[in-house]
Amino acid sequence: MQQDRITVRGREIPVHRVNTLVVGSGAAGLNAADTLHGLGRTDVAVLTEGWRMGTSRNTGSDKQTYYKLTLAGDAPDSVVEMARTLHAGGSMHGDIALVEAALSATAFSKLVSIGVPFPHDRYGQYAGYKTDHDPRQRATSCGPYTSRFMVERLERQVLAKGIPVFDGFRAIALLTAPEGDHRRVVGVLALDKAGLSAANLGLTVFSCSAVVWATGGPGGLYASSVYPESQTCATGAPLEAGAAGANLTESQYGLASTKFRWNLSGTYQQVLPRYISTDADGGDEREFLEGAFPDARAMLHAAFLKGYQWPFDAGKLGAGGSSRVDLQVFAETLKGRRVWLDFRRNPSAAGGTSADGVPLAFDPAALSDEARDYLTRSGALQDTPLERLLAMNPGAVALYREHGIDLADEPLEIAVCAQHSNGGLLGDVWWESDLRRLFPVGEVNGTFGARRPGGSALNSTQVGSLRAAQAIAARYADEPLDAEALREAAGDQLERWTGLAMRLAGARDGSGPPPEETSRGLAATLRARAQARMSRAGGHVRSLPVVREALAEVSAELRDFADAQGLAGPEGLVEAFIDRDILLTQFAFLSAIEAYLLRGGPSRGGYLVERSGSPADPDAAESWDPDREVQETRLRVAPDGSPECTHRWVPARPIPHEDDWFENVWRSYRTGEVWK
């Protein structure tokens, strides 16, 4: 890797030159770097804000799922069958669904070969189970830490190959230049967290021929979030650079613990803990679910179903629907009450407690046939939810104990939390953005549509990063621009970003005293306000007036951002740029939601639409099926900081029916036509 320097506004900024820069150190980014190196493109480096940060390494669930083609038994399955399942979720392009299905076995096999401990039988069959939105049994799991195992094994691959890692660097902007009728990425501007000095403010440039953007989902958007706190947001930078967004309306929400952020799916629900709410101080305890269901048995069945219908789903809100549980939890929090799962006692409808507070025996006769049969076959008819959980999944109890929560001594505080962004940056069948040479992979790529099978996100991290590596290796072997050529191509952008960093840090081109306030309190206040706003306006319950009010607030905050931040020095620059990225991403997401609601978009996938009157375009609402289209969003930021978005809906492409005659496929591969 070559290094040079460039002077911008009197600051001497280092310039690193590398063919491909991978931004992000999760399962998607590390697989891209490892695959590129294996394909002979060894001029690759990884840039990460923190090697042990990010969702892949720090999240999980009761039984974190990986979704792939069936690899066991005699159940019929095929690549096209799996593609149909993915495509049927709505607002997903069929050609991308086909790629994710076709390469699922390839990507899965690589993980197995590097040591990810997916279970198999004595004959080598990788048995599966059924997950949500899954007509087969394609799901598999290593337990609660599936994605962590993936990251750890891929990390071992990357480090063993000596791939350079720039740890502690926050990417803040993409540098672009014209390429024919389009624009292309020529570099990344980052902040070196260890070098935030007044001399160059930590600014560092990476000149590259291609960029893999593997920064994960926008976890910092929401107050109610099950993303790890280290997972903030890096979607705004590529949107501002000109990359289009796709399906920014679509996100996934579900019940999660809040003291320690963790999804409460699987056995946590199937053992039927007691749902209670209290006042703000923990008093006035009461159960609250039963009134939302036809009877007590329906309530218990819905709570049981949350185990494998964990995400909030607008299609499961009918009488007895499992997502009614989420709405009741949300309704309690709107009253200012706190909500808890209590594993020490049974729900009143299934045994409850005596008058003096002693837990009564569990009553299986109170359950639906499905719930009773499941617990019976699992050997889990013990007297309390905790005993049942210990019988079925002792690791689920140990996990909370490791994080300072003993389910035998205290209830578990919960909320409906943002968990995954199904929308993100637009990409083609090679995961390349319309901003050329930018490859968004993993959750930041908006491939997932409105509804997805559980675990398909982990498959997408591996398939997308494999495809990106293949395309880069085949197309973009050219040398990155040297410092002089980079200055000529993107000098105005470097001037702008350096000026903003100086302004935020109080440097003001070296003149004037720094502001009296420090950055820490300002950043914390701004972020908390923004996160609360997104949970209110862009969560699982949405209405046009609330969205419009929120948009006006975000727009004003972006317009006034540089003046309002007023840092006392460079120490707060990273957090300030994260805040700005959160605001840019929030504006784009909320603008997409507003456009969807104005068109009369219905409740679907992970959200419920509340309407007080007719939509703005009733004719479109009557004839429009949003599942058949993909919404594309473009963000533009004016010189004064004001944001603006434009949107269009394009038909979701069908699943291709390709000529699979071997001789023709072989010829296409030999001649390189396959890479076009």
Q: Answer yes or no: are the C-beta atoms of 434 and 344 closer than 8 Å.
A: no
Q: Answer yes or no: are the C-beta atoms of 543 and 608 closer than 8 Å.
A: no
Q: How far apart, in Å, are the Cα atoms of 274 and each of 226, 299, 624?
A: 21, 11, 42
CA dist., res. 260 & res. 82, Å (int): 35
| Torsion region of 147: left, alpha or beta (phi above 0 gives left; psi -120 to 50 gives alpha) | alpha
Run of H or E including 648: strand 643-651
How confident is the model over 610-636, as pLDDT tens digits?
986 544 554 555 578 999 999 999 999
Name the residue among 288, 55, 45, 309 with its Cα closest to residue 190. Answer: 45
Q: How far apart, in Å, are the Cα atoms of 463 and each of 48, 79, 286, 353, 442?
A: 21, 14, 47, 50, 9
Q: Between residues 491 and 518, which one has the greater pLDDT?
A: 491
CATH 3.50.50.60 domain span(s) along the chain: 16-251+422-480
Terminal CA-to-CA distance of the chain, rounded, Å? 28
Residue 444 confidence (pLDDT): 98
The confidence band for 375, taking pLDDT boundaries of 50, 70 and 90, is very high
Average pLDDT over residues 66-86: 96
Average pLDDT over residues 92-121: 98
Average pLDDT over residues 466-473: 98
- Beta strands of 448-580 (E only): which ranges? 541-542
The confidence band for 508, taking pLDDT boundaries of 50, 70 and 90, is very low
How confident is the model over 218-271, as pLDDT tens digits?
999 999 999 999 999 999 999 999 999 999 999 999 999 999 999 999 999 999
Residues paired with residue 203 on neighbouring β-strands, in sequence order: 191
CA dist., res. 529 & res. 74, Å (int): 54
Q: Between residues 7 and 676, which one has the greater pLDDT?
A: 7
Q: What is the mean pLDDT of the chain?
A: 93
Q: Specify the residue for token string 């976890």.
A: 219
Residue 676 confidence (pLDDT): 81
Q: Residues 34, 36, 39, 43: is their CA dihedral positive or negative?
A: negative
CA dist., res. 225 & res. 249, Å (int): 17
Residue 511 confidence (pLDDT): 40
- Ranking 298-307, 409-418, 596-605, 660-669 by mean pLDDT, the lowest is 660-669
Question: Rounded to 5 degrees, what are φ and ψ at 511?
Answer: -115, 150
Residue 133 confidence (pLDDT): 87
Token duo for residue 387 = 């005993």
CATH 3.90.700 domain span(s) along the chain: 253-419
Q: Give ∠ CA 588-589-591 in degrees, rounded to 5.
A: 65
**639 CB-contact burial (10 Å; exposed 0-12 / middle 13-18 / buried 19+):** exposed
Total Cβ atoms within 10 A of residue 15: 21
The confidence band for 515, taking pLDDT boundaries of 50, 70 and 90, is very low
Percent of the chain predicted with pLDDT > 90: 85
Pairing outcome for strands 412-421 and 338-342: antiparallel
CA dist., res. 76 & res. 443, Å (int): 29
How confident is the model over 284-316, as pLDDT tens digits?
999 999 889 999 999 999 999 999 899 999 999
Residue 482 confidence (pLDDT): 95
Q: Residues 503, 509, 514, 515: is their CA dihedral positive or negative?
A: negative
Residue 62 confidence (pLDDT): 85
Residue 512 confidence (pLDDT): 39
Average pLDDT over residues 478-485: 96
Question: Rounded to 5 degrees, what are φ and ψ at 586?
Answer: -60, -40
Task: Give the CATH superfamily of 16-251+422-480.
Answer: FAD/NAD(P)-binding domain (3.50.50.60)
DSSP string computed for 325-339? HHHHHHHHHHTT-EE
Residues paired with residue 257 on neighbouring β-strands, in sequence order: 262, 414
**613 CB-contact burial (10 Å; exposed 0-12 / middle 13-18 / buried 19+):** exposed
pLDDT greater than 50 at residue 517 = no
DSSP string computed for 290-350? GGGSSSHHHHHHHHHHTTTS-B--GGG-STT-THHHHHHHHHHHHTT-EEEEESSS--GGG
Q: How far apart, in Å, are the Cα atoms of 128 and each of 142, 158, 503?
A: 11, 29, 55
Q: Residues 563, 566, 569, 571: is their CA dihedral positive or negative?
A: negative
Q: Determine what percent of the chain falls in helix, strand and coil, rounding each to the nearest 5.
A: 40, 20, 40
CA dist., res. 345 & res. 361, Å (int): 9
How confident is the model over 522-579, as pLDDT tens digits?
567 899 999 999 999 999 999 999 999 999 999 999 999 988 876 767 889 999 999 9
Domain covering 253-419, topology? Flavocytochrome C3; Chain A, domain 1 (3.90.700)
Residues 6+ apart with CB under 8 A from 495: 8, 9
Residues 6+ apart with CB under 8 A from 391: 378, 379, 380, 382
Q: How far apart, in Å, are the Cα atoms of 249 and each of 145, 216, 593?
A: 28, 17, 5
